[in-house]
Amino acid sequence: MFICLKKLPLPSEKSGFKMAKEIENQNDGLENVEQALSKTELFIEKNKNVLMGILIAAIVIILAVMGIKKFYTDPRAERAANEMFKAQTYFGNQDYKNALEGDGNNLGFMDIIKEYGSTKSGNLARYYAGICNMKLGNYEEALDLLKQFKGKDKVIAPLALGAMGDCYMELDDVNNAASYYMKAANKEPNEFSSPIYLMKAGAAYRVMGDNAKALAAYKQLKEDYPNSLEAREIAPQIDYLETK
């Protein structure tokens, strides 16, 4: 089954992070901080889709293998898994409309949910459909589907929570965005997605003006994932927030 994590599934290119107002150029030290913040924001924006893309691609392969084993003895579940293949192909090619709605000959994720909603494939289709809607800018619909997804997988469950955070950010609900980013980071702690979601959570808290929580998220990132790219990028922001 698919997923695309090199760009961690992200919404439109509209900046999800609307970082706090630029710090006034009072002196050279603050100017350096501003430059560091700008670089970090650019880093997040530039790499979030790439990271999510890679992860999704890896998940697609893993889920496909799992599907063959788990659905073989259940005819209805096996049919659902087979129907998923074309939709997943469209998804992998970033053709989110056909993946979501079908192409007239093959079912889309919404059809699979309707016909096979009680199967494992039907449940997974909710995740895919949620990401498709998010990619198409339908954030409310995406949230509804992602909340219906019953994910226990160590990889997909955090991604679903993170995607909800992205949707809330796009809808300017920064409080919920920060909350879901933290849930995504801590759901199944890992070196790949957790640092990204902690950085996003910190950025969201900054937008809210909650520097204490932002600092806590950044410190967790640095302490728990010291070898991550994000940990190296976050140092200037930690230094700045500790002076506030």
Query: Is residue 20 in some structural domain?
Result: no
Residue 61 confidence (pLDDT): 52
Task: Tell me which residue range forms the domain holding 190.
Answer: 5-13+26-242
Query: Is residue 19 in some structural domain?
Result: no
Give pLDDT < 70 ranges for the chain: 1-74
Query: Is residue 189 in some structural domain?
Result: yes
The string of DSSP letters for 193-231 reads THHHHHHHHHHHHHHHT-HHHHHHHHHHHHHH-TTSHHH
Q: pLDDT tens, 100-124? A: 999 999 999 999 999 998 888 999 9
CATH of the domain at 120: 1.25.40.10
Residue 47 confidence (pLDDT): 56
Residue 66 confidence (pLDDT): 55
* Residues 164/10, Cβ–Cβ less than 8 Å: no
Query: Is residue 148 in some structural domain?
Result: yes
Residue 45 confidence (pLDDT): 55
Q: Computed over its alpha carbons, how large is the radius of gyration of the chain?
A: 19
Calpha distance 228→199 (Å, rounded): 11
Separation of CA 61 from chain center: 18
Residue 155 confidence (pLDDT): 87
Give phi and psi for 196, each to the nearest 5.
Answer: -65, -45
> Which one, of 58, 225, 31, lies nearest residue 154 by Cα?
58
Query: Is residue 18 in some structural domain?
Result: no
Residue 137 confidence (pLDDT): 97
Cα angle: 24, vertex 29, 34; to 5 degrees: 50
What is the tally of structural domains in the chain?
1
* Residues 55/244, Cβ–Cβ less than 8 Å: no
Calpha distance 199→152 (Å, rounded): 23
